[in-house]
Each structure stands twice: as C-alpha cells, then as structure tokens.
C-alpha cells in the first residue's frame, strides 16, 4: 500500500486528526479533444499528457495540498473543449489490495482520524477497512465511485457518504439518507446537498470557467476530509470541498489541478480558518 506522508502526520501536532486514504493510484493518459467521441467514432486530439491520478491518490493529494496530515495506503481520460471527460480504468495493482494493507491501515489509527475510501479497490477490502476504522474510533468517509459494486449492500459504520446524482440513484436514492451518518450528493456546477439528521442543506456553487473536470470530485472529497480531520462540521467541510472542486476545474490535468490554500484565497477569497477548527 503506497504511502503519502507529510511531517505533520508523523508528529500528530496539536490534536489534528490524520486523513488516512485507502484507495487507488493510477497513471492517467489524457488527450484533449474538441468533442467526446461517440461509439465507433474516431476523433483527433492534441498532445498526450501522462499525469499521476487515481481517486485514492488524488484525494490524498487534495487533502495534503491544503496542509492536511495524510498517509496513504492506468486510466485513459479523454477531455473535450468544455472540460467534460470520459474515463476508462485498468485496475492493475489496485485490484491486489489485501489483508497486509489492512494491517498497515490499522497501525496508528485512532479517534480524530478520518479514513477515506473509494470503490476502485476490491469491495471486500473496503468493507473490512470500514470495520477497522470504526473499531479504532476513526470516522469513515466513503466516496462510492464507481457505485455499481456497492448497489444493494448495507453500509454500516459509514459516517459520511459522498456520491454524485447518478451514484445516489444507483445506490437507493432517498433510502441512502437513513443508511449512513451523513449523505452528500454532489451536483457538479450546481453545487451539493448535505443530508444529515433529517435536514437537507444546499451548498451553493462557485462560478468558474471549466477547463477540465477530471479531478473535481476528488478535490471535493479530499478537502472535505481535510476539514473533518480538523473538527469542521459536515456542512462546513462540504462548503470547503465545493470550493476546492470549483478551483480544480480551472486547470488541466487531475493531480496538477488540485488547489492549494493560495489558490482558494486567490479565486474565492477563502481562508482555511473559516472552515476548520483545530481540536486542542
């Protein structure tokens, strides 16, 4: 299980929780085209870019770029002129995550930590990791993408579930609200909705010019995890996530687009202290 650790994670400074990511790491091959190809169609694109990616890797970097304490346990992407994309994933080593990785996840895990997972690794490992995190007193943030493998399954001990509209429908729609601690449905350029304790909170979007939406969802997840590990409420965490997702679409490429605190301040006038509360 590859790790991405900064010094704050090693020192565990000031009661700040660590964001622990168990998930996929890919190498993205990105081609920019005028329009996405239809089935059976061949289109010409411009230069090929090779960029580090994968939902797990992107979400870890998204949290780390904001200053989070993070540790971490080939995709082909085609992007059109409006920033829309299609993605095909070859799982490779991601499909071999196993019990040794769960042991590394368990080591040092405790209350205040936030464990982030997606569904690009074996489902049985995801479900086992959820139990590991819950037993350690950590919070579980699950980004249920791709959602098909989880359809019809129970989601015990998931504190925050983040999905887009299509994934929410595939996983049960309104019934999801009762299945997890908090449900976050991302709406792309329309913002997000947080469902928590029978209350729905609409998070308004930030208006930007989209260049590439490849890592927007990962930016939302990583920034939300960063804020949760610093004591923010789910609603405030998603507000920060929305801003990070909007910032991410303004640049080309998954990993390079993930914003820093300076990016959020420059684009939206956001200071991280508005969203996070360090526990002492």
Catalytic residues: 218
Task: List the beta strands (DSSP E) in 104-198.
Answer: 114-117, 139-143, 160-164, 182-186, 192-196
Question: Are 100 and 106 contacting, i.e. CB atoms less than 8 angstroms apart?
Answer: no
- Distance from C-alpha of 279 to C-alpha of 104, rounded to nearest angstrom: 25
Which residues pair with residue 52 across a beta bridge? 27
Q: Could you give the CA distance from residue 135 to residue 156 in angstroms, rounded to a whole number?
A: 12
In 3-state terms the chain splits into helix, strand, coil percentages (rounded to 5) of 40, 20, 40
Under DSSP, the state recorded for 156 is T
How many other C-beta atoms are found inside a 10 Å radius of the C-beta of residue 200?
Answer: 11
DSSP character at residue 146: S
Q: Which residues, at least 6 apart from 167, have a Cβ–Cβ distance to it below 8 Å?
A: 144, 145, 146, 147
């Amino acid at each position: 299980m590859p790790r991405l650790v900064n010094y704050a994670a090693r020192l565990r400074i000031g009661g700040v929780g660590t964001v622990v990511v168990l998930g996929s790491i890919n190498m993205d091959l990105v081609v920019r085209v005028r329009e996405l190809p239809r089935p059976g169609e061949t289109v010409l694109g411009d230069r090929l870019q090779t960029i580090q990616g994968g939902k797990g890797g992107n979400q870890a970097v998204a949290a780390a770029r904001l200053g989070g304490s993070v540790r971490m346990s080939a995709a082909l992407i085609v992007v059109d002129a409006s920033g829309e994309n299609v993605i095909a994933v070859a799982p490779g080593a991601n499909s071999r995550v196993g019990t040794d990785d769960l042991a590394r996840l368990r080591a040092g895990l405790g209350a205040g930590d936030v464990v982030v997972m997606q569904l690009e690794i074996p489902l049985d490992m995801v479900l086992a990791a959820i139990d590991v995190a819950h037993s350690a007193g950590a919070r579980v943030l699950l980004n249920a993408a791709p959602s098909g493998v989880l359809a019809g399954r129970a989601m015990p001990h998931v504190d925050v579930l983040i999905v887009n509209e299509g994934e929410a429908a595939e996983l049960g729609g309104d019934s999801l609200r009762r299945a997890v601690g908090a449900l976050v449905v991302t709406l792309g350029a329309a913002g997000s909705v947080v469902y928590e304790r029978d209350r729905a909170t609409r998070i308004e979007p930030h208006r930007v010019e989209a260049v590439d939406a490849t890592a927007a969802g990962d930016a939302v997840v990583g920034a939300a995890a960063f804020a949760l590990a610093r004591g923010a409420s789910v609603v405030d965490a998603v507000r920060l996530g929305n801003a990070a997702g909007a910032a991410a679409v303004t640049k080309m490429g998954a990993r390079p687009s993930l914003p820093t605190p300076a990016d959020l301040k420059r684009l939206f006038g956001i200071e991280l202290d508005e969203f996070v509360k360090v526990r002492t």
